[in-house]
């Protein structure tokens, strides 16, 4: 018979990068965890994981078992919550995944306020390069950009334009692009993230957004294929390089706005709109959603305020 401890073991192996990390999460030794895994495999008559000297990987059967076990554990926790007399008192662990920069700068302070409202709740914030779709066991995910092929419910929290920026010194030395094709003569800084084609930039005149129909806007759309002079997977590094005069950078408004305000960056081609990257909250469907997940959804929506496409800022 499968025990709750077996499900917790499988769920830990799904979300942790190694056997030793899973052992730490469950507060047992790696040899003890390995023995428990072998006993579970024997009971099921299945191989749940492959082991090498450096890592442990779940087999397809192991991954299926672990995902279903994690879902069942969530349902059990939700049942416990539903039986509490005081529905306003949240308990258990709430796991949020968010991008490194945005999560550190904006989501972490918001979660601190949420934690003060619910002292019985344990909070876990996982900052990742790609929180979606690499969500592991997160209860909710903050994603910057367009979401495709999601079985989770996506809710846009805030607009977030992308701004092309450079330092004043760089523009004095190299000149300021006046039209999109001028960008091709400049050093460009690209950010490699979310498996996107970061060297392909789409843009359209800002005036076309309101004054023209869909056909006219599509006709006015331009595409630039950039040959980057510098590439990094860290947005903060890319912005710093631009502030240091190394080239043009296409950066989210939430990260570039402060530098533009203090004058270390200048917005280039302000009359053009690049593809936006809205701030999106992703949570499981309402069926089986726990009270703590519903509470964080309501809190974040209220904190960001009503969303409209004309919202001037991409951060709370």
Residue 291: its pLDDT value, please?
85
Domain that includes residue 173, residue range: 162-208+219-274
φ, ψ dihedrals at 249, nearest 5°: -135, 140
Residue 270: its pLDDT value, please?
94
Query: Can you tell me the distance from the alpha carbon of 156 to that of 144, in angstroms, rounded to the nearest whole number?
Result: 10
Residues 270, 171 share a domain = yes
Helix axes 30-44, 19-26, angle to 10 degrees: 100
Residue 71: its pLDDT value, please?
80
Q: What is the CATH number of the domain that holds 257?
A: 3.40.190.290
Residues 262, 193 share a domain = yes
Note whether residue 315 is domain-resident: no
Residues 139, 94 share a domain = yes
Mention every residue, 6+ apart, whose C-beta is less than 8 A from residue 150: 132, 133, 282
**What's the structural domain count of the chain?**
3
Domain boundary residue among 81, 116, 131? 81
Residues 31, 73 share a domain = yes
Note whether residue 311 is domain-resident: no
Write the pLDDT tens digit of every residue in 17-74.
Answer: 777 878 887 888 888 888 888 888 888 888 888 876 567 788 888 888 888 888 887 7
Q: In what order do the strands lie in the sheet with 162-166?
A: 230-232, 188-191, 248-252, 162-166, 266-268
Note whether residue 175 is domain-resident: yes
Note whether residue 214 is domain-resident: no
Residues 289, 146 share a domain = yes
Provide the terminal-to-terminal Cα distance of the chain, rounded to the nearest Å: 49
Residue 124: its pLDDT value, please?
92
What contacts 24+ positions apart, CB below 8 Å, involve 231-234? 231/189, 231/190, 231/191, 231/192, 231/198, 232/189, 232/190, 232/191, 232/192, 233/129, 233/191, 233/192, 233/193, 234/100, 234/101, 234/191
Residues 285, 245 share a domain = no
Residue given tokens 């979660």 in the structure block: 111
Q: Which two tokens stand for residue 135?
A: 């969500």
Report residues of the chain scoring pLDDT below 50: 85-86, 209-211, 216, 310-316
Domain boundary residue among 60, 81, 102? 81
Q: What is the CATH number of the domain that holds 121?
A: 3.40.190.10
Residues 27, 114 share a domain = no
Residues 247, 149 share a domain = no
Residues 268, 286 share a domain = no
Residues 56, 37 share a domain = yes
Residue 23: its pLDDT value, please?
81
Note whether residue 236 is domain-resident: yes
Note whether residue 124 is domain-resident: yes
Domain boundary residue among 35, 59, 81? 81
């Amino acid at each position: 018979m499968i025990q709750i401890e077996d499900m917790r073991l499988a769920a830990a192996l799904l979300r942790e990068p190694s056997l030793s990390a899973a052992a730490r999460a469950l507060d047992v030794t790696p040899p003890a965890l390995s023995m428990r895994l072998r006993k579970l495999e024997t009971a099921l008559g299945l191989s749940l994981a492959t082991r090498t000297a450096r890592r442990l990987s779940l087999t397809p059967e192991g991954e299926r078992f672990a995902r279903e076990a994690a879902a069942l554990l969530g349902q059990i926790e939700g049942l416990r919550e539903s039986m509490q007399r005081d529905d306003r008192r949240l308990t258990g662990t709430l796991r949020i995944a968010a991008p490194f920069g945005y999560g550190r700068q904006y989501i972490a302070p918001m979660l601190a306020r949420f934690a003060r409202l619910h002292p019985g709740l344990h909070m876990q914030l996982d900052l990742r390069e790609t929180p979606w779709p690499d969500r592991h066991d997160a209860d909710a995910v903050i994603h910057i950009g367009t979401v495709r092929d999601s079985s989770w419910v996506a809710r846009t929290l805030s607009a977030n334009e992308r701004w092309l920026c450079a330092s004043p010194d760089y523009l004095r030395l190299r000149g300021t692009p006046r039209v999109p094709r001028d960008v091709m003569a400049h050093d460009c800084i690209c950010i490699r993230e979310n498996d996107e084609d970061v060297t392909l930039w789409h843009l359209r005149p800002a005036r076309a957004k309101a004054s023209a129909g869909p056909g006219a806007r599509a006709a006015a759309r331009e595409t630039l294929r950039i040959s980057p002079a510098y590439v990094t997977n860290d947005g903060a590094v890319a912005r710093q390089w631009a502030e240091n005069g190394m080239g043009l950078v296409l950066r989210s408004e939430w990260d570039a706005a402060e530098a533009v305000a203090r004058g270390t960056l200048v917005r280039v081609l302000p009359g053009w709109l690049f593809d936006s990257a809205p701030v999106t909250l992703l949570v499981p469907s309402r069926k089986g959603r726990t009270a703590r997940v519903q509470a964080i959804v309501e809190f974040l929506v209220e904190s960001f305020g009503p969303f409209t496409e004309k919202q001037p800022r991409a951060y709370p």
